Amino acid sequence: MTDDVTALTQLVLHERQGRDREWWDAMLESYAPDAEVRLSWFRGSGAEFVDQSRRMAGRGDRAVHRLGPAVVDVHGGRALVELPAVIEVTTELDGVEAVLASYARLLHRAVRTGNGWRIASLDPLYERDTLTPGIPGSTVRVDEEELRKYRVPYRFLAYVLGRRGYGVGDDLYGDDRPDEVAGVYAEAHHWLNPAGRKP
């Protein structure tokens, strides 16, 4: 069990490291062949996510992930790994340098394969975000009418991504919809162990 927890923790950390460092082969290796990814700007397979992340970086759109300690639950050949994260993006809005910080919990399902543990799915649960000037004393201005179109847990993330040409759905998991979030956890734990105790 201890070795599994270590392996799973390193799995999700290496996936994020691959994303941040643009080590695409290492990132791809983290995913099972039939993995599914669902997040702010992308929905599709793990392989497609890696490819689109590469394209995103090629456009100059890069993020850095500040990660907290992982919580790992293992049952047989399945596991859940929740990883707290702050997604930081430095961008420019109307000529002003701005820093976006999106706070989320990254919920991974993982499966044991012949090549070790691999990520079967990735779903962020968004908590809140901030948008601040990159240079002290400057002012970041946002279109408040446009901002009101987006849900509070990821409104600045959606605003910034929208300005960069990425569409963001209104149906992401967020703490402003606690019943949905509770359902995500319940369904994930049922997947992990259908006969087990629910959290």
**DSSP assignment string, 106-160:** EEEEEEEETTEEEEEEEEEEEEEEEEEESSTT------HHHHTTS-GGGHHHHHH
Q: Decide: helix, strand or coil at residue 69.
A: coil
Residue 198 has pLDDT above 80, yes or no: no
Chain length of the chain: 199
Q: Are strands 116-133 and 31-38 parallel, antiparallel or unpaired?
A: parallel
Report d(CA 197, CA 195) in Å as an integer.
7
What pLDDT, on a 0 to 100 scale, did the predictor assign at position 185? 97
User: Considering the entire predicted model, what is its pTM?
Assistant: 0.93
Is residue 27 within 8 Å of residue 15, measured between CB atoms? yes
Tokens of 171: 């149906």
Summarised one tens digit per residue, pLDDT across range 63-116 is 999 999 999 999 999 999 999 999 999 999 999 999 999 999 999 999 999 999
From 145, 123, 119, select the one nearest 18 (Cα to Cα). 119
Q: Residues 182-189: what's their mean pLDDT?
A: 97
Is residue 173 within 8 Å of residue 126, measured between CB atoms? yes
Q: Residues 21-26: what's their mean pLDDT?
A: 97
By CB atoms closer than 10 A (0-12, 13-18, 19+), residue 1 is: exposed
Q: Which residues contact 137 (CB under 8 A, 6 or more apart)?
A: none
By CB atoms closer than 10 A (0-12, 13-18, 19+), residue 100 is: buried
Residue 168 has pLDDT above 80, yes or no: yes
From 148, 147, 174, select the one nearest 160 (Cα to Cα). 147
Predicted confidence band of residue 199 (pLDDT cuts 50, 70, 90) = low
Report d(CA 74, CA 168) in Å as an integer.
32
From 45, 188, 31, 185, select the one nearest 111 (Cα to Cα). 31
